Amino acid sequence: MDLERRTFVRTAGSAGILAFLVARGFLTVGDARADLWNKPAFDAESLEDAIDILVNSPAAESPEVVIVAPEIAENGAVVPVGVVAKLDGVESIAILCEKNPHPLAAIYEIPPGTLADVKTRVKMAETSHVVVLVKAGGRIHMARKEIKVTRGGCGG
Amino acid sequence: MAKPMKVRARNADGVTDVRILMRHDMESGQRKNSDGDIIPAHHIQNVTVRHQQKVVLFAQWGPAVSKNPYLAFKFEGGTPGDPIEVTWVDNKGDSRTDETMIK
């Protein structure tokens, strides 16, 4: 009885509704990117591969990027890692654990007005470097810090 | 099904400090069960934090983020009483949104 109308509603589809909401200002750009997840980078099995996928320009080590983390982590399942970048125009921050089965742990996008100062807790399989990449003003800045892990956080 | 987050936001000297504690297994995909089968990865993939509709932080996470994830960051602006809204989405399509007010 109501079939024609139903078909129309279905064809109008979620894409149309999403576009409408964005146009009306109900959603911000962040929503349109809600499924954004860099699968190839998270699937990479070596630090080099993950970095290659994340950045296409060489990364220079920078004293302006500071990793705030303990030198020894007793429990590899919960390693606090903070990143502070004393740089202008930071766009994104990536945190990688060198010897994890999949090194990339997290990517943060930093909109204008948000400080380049984030803290998370990550799992580390074994003692290795934590590597941080910061994109600022179109350039890639890098820092690394070795964290000794007494008990790994990935097996079980 | 997803359990609530704890969200705290405090403004001091024009900067708002946001701290979030989520409840999620963050299963790594590396562990095996008692039968020797791999337990599939189950982890948060995206976190979006908004201050009055504006995205102030967007994160992509892999399974290497610790169980019951903690996230802290700071942004300029924010007034006590303003709402802060946090949403996560995991790799199975589960999601959770919680809100707090800046103190």
**How far, rounded to the nearest angstrom, does the alpha carbon of residue A54 sit from its chain's CA centroid?**
10
SS3 A41: helix
Residues with pLDDT less than 70, chain B: 1
What are the domain boundaries of chain B? 6-27+41-101
ipTM above 0.90, yes or no: yes
Closest CA relative to residue A107, chosen from A44, A18, A32: A44
SS3 A108: strand
Express each pLDDT in B53-66 by its tens digit. 999 999 999 999 99
Interface of A with B (CB under 8 A): 28-31, 33-38, 42, 77-80, 82, 97, 100-111, 113-115, 117-124, 153-156
Quote the mean pLDDT of chain A.
82
At A148 the pLDDT is 96
Which is it for strands A104-109 and A139-151: parallel, antiparallel or unpaired? unpaired
Q: Measure B18 CA to nearest chain A CA, in Å.
A: 10
Q: How many angstroms separate the CA atoms of B5 and A121, rounded?
A: 16
Which residues 1-30 of B have a C-beta within 8 angstroms of A? 15, 28, 30
Q: Which CATH architecture has domain A38-149?
A: Sandwich (2.60)
Q: How many angstroms separate the CA atoms of B51 and B86, rounded?
A: 9
Structure tokens at A109: 């996008």
Delimit the CATH 2.60.40.2470 region(s) of chain A: 38-149
Q: Which residue of B has its CA nearest to A98?
A: B64
SS3 A60: strand
**Residue A80: is its pLDDT beyond 80?**
yes
Which residues 51-70 of B have a C-beta within 8 angstroms of A? 53-67, 69-70
Predicted confidence band of residue A13 (pLDDT cuts 50, 70, 90)? very low
Structure tokens at B32: 């095996």
The model's pTM is 0.84
- Which chain A positions have a beta carbon within 8 Å of B76's beta carbon? 113-115
Q: What are phi and psi of A12, to 5 degrees?
A: -55, -35
CATH for B6-27+41-101 (2.60.40.10, 3.40.190.10, 1.10.20.10, 3.30.450.20): 2.60.40.10
Predicted confidence band of residue A154 (pLDDT cuts 50, 70, 90)? low
